[in-house]
Structure 1
Amino acid sequence: MQKNHDLTSKQLIEIVVVCVALGIGLLIHDYLETRINFDGTIKRSAAGTGNTTEDLELNFLDQNKELSVEVSDQSLSDKEISTKISQAIEEIEATYLGRNKSANEVCYDLNLKSSYCDGMIDAYWTFDKYGLISSDGKLRTAEIPEEGEVVNLVAQLSYEERTELYSFSVFVCHKSINTLDGQLEAIEKAVKNVDSTTRDKDKMVLPTEVEDMKLSWKKKMDYRGLQVIILGIVTVLGIQLGKKKDEKKAKQLEIAEKEKDYPMIVSELSILMGAGMSFRKALERIIARYNQKKKSGLLRPGYEDLSVTYRKMCDGLGEVAALEDLGMNSESKEYRKLAMLLAQNLRKGSADLISCLEKEEKYAFEMRKQRAIKAGEEASTKLLIPMAGMLFIVIVILVVPAIMQMNI
């Protein structure tokens, strides 16, 4: 147990050493960058990436003050601005149609962005026909006339104080009735028309024919019954899985408790049979002692198995047969081993039985010791995980901001 404690301490020390080494490295780097290598020059960020802020210490007239200096990103030259605006126009031409195949037949929403060239060029859109297209390119189908309409679009492209205009025209129209989208649009329009013209009535009758298309309407089924069935099945399966898991866990705990009882059972058998008692008399004495303890509410699974074996013997079953039943019905390999050892010696007779029991006693107590060590290691591991998690959170809180300020 002490060995496990030392190992855990070593692991904690290693974590602390790594953190201290990392912290010292960051302190040295920050000291060099802020006290030695800084000459009053601040590097600007690339154009279009936005302003940055530097926290500085200012010394003047015997005064020491902290001052935050905002540094603008690097601006573009006139030639670079012209290039970027040209690139923005090319991007508009390549993307504005969206799902539409041609500017001469625009029946789907346009793809009009508020900025281009990765946000460096801002775009503001205006239209000569108000109400047909929104600023983000969505068509207002209800406002578009049946014969369609030509709309002129103007994009005001700007970078800081520099502005250029780019214009083009599109023909907005309704979707073709020969397409699925056009058919659905016509049906939706007919439904809206029926709704608006029959609002004074208590019912709305859905259209049965639109553009020579026969319509058949049904209410959408929500399949609540199927959902309830699936939920019930899943619930039952979950309960059964949970029950099996609990039973498995309970069985494992029962086996663990039996293994705890095993060293004492072997020890008592070894002492009593070594004193000259027969196996039956020794078992009777052990069960009698256990029954006295049992009256106070102490139940031990290992001794309960022995009680069952003893009752079988009292009911007329032979000692060997009772021990064989114990071996076959026990989930613990240690009890199977003990039952086989006793049955073999009772069947054939052996002068080495006491010696074998003493060896088994030593083995049982050694296994008990190993289980205690393993349990201690598992407990230490469970404690180490949350401690490591807390340490990781502290490292993130302290180190990540420092790393982000390195500008690596």
Structure 2
Amino acid sequence: MNHQAVMRQPASTIYSVLFAISIVHLLNDAIQSVIPAMFPVLRDSLHLTFAQIGWIGFTLNMTASIIQPAIGWYTDSRPKPYLLPVGMGFTLAGIVGLAFASSYGLLLLCVVLVGIGSAVLHPESSRVAHLAGGTRKGFAQSLFQLGGNTGQAIAPVLAALIFIPLGQKSILWFSVAAITAIAVQMSISRWYGNHLHTTKRDKTAGAVRTESRLSRGAVAVAMGVLIFMLFSKFVYMASMTGYYAFYLMDKFQMTVQTAQYYLFALLIAGMAGTFMGGPLADRFGRRNTIWFSILGTAPFSIALPFANPFWSMVLCVCIGLILLSGFSVIVVYAQELLPGKVGTIAGLFFGLAFGLGGIGSALLGYLADSAGLETVIRVSAFLPLLGLLAILLPSDEVLTGTKTPAMDSSSVNS
């Protein structure tokens, strides 16, 4: 092992930093998630088609998707603590612009600014979580992701209670959240900078191992499988967050506010699933948790288009609980595949998450215009079946050299 490439990690988990970075993630993702939650208002105020709504989602997600991997790759060797508050500055500018956007073009420009802010936040904040987590990397990523999922969960409720009744200009209230996040990020960036100073700005962010235990071919196959997992997860989530409310309004004649509560149920259950993901992976193995989180969603997603309003709510809870349990586990698994590339992996996987969601949003918008909302929900319901590909992932024992306590010899074969 090259000892020059090892950064000294905190001796213990620094909970104050983890909770702070989780709060910022909450505020950022609440801001970002309120944009699709506001689609019904934006459609009415700017007279948009479903295809145009799809392009808003595409623009928001692809902006973050393209920029995040580059930021992660660059800061792996040149960490930049000041990027944390600067990124939220872009988000603040986007929020103010969204409140007053009077044309479709201006709306897209403001969405780009919010996307840039999110692109800066995720790889650097994930690195901070990795460092502050000490030896509890899985817990740290789960707590960080819990903040983001909490923000995503409260966005539909805020939209139903505040933004939809008060209209487009009410988005301006989220500038308070952005300013709060900037203040917290300034404090986090000081801790981050001090940590880098004491470790002499070593080139890797917390890596103990600098070479993978697997061959390049095996790593490539595993990374490809993980990307398919992300595809199934985030395109399906794009169908739900972008179009399920419209589907409920069309099929059951629900009000906009009532339909938003179904998304809230999906996402609030996802909060619990996210927090459970890390402990489940510690207990049953990362590969098994990834497999369960995608494939385990399929029975519920396939049943959803046939359910009445009551069972639709129940199924939304089940889908959120299972599907959202796996993302933080996927990130940590990928970081084990490519040790020493914390920022690159975080940027790549958060970027892919946004990018795949954006592509899915745009394509599903065209499908909704041409074939109807019910077709969108029925077709996307089969995406979790791609979880079957998780059988190709190396076991935890092969990946890390350690056996998960709950895994017997039959469950660790690769």
Q: State if a TM-score over 0.5 links the two structures.
A: no
Structure with the higher strand share, 1 or 2: 1
Structure with the higher helix share, 1 or 2: 2
- Of structures 1 and 2, the one with the larger relative CO (CA 8 A, separation 6+) is 2
Larger of the two Rg values belongs to structure: 1
Q: What's the TM-score once normalised by structure 2's chain length?
A: 0.22
Q: What's the TM-score once normalised by structure 1's chain length?
A: 0.22
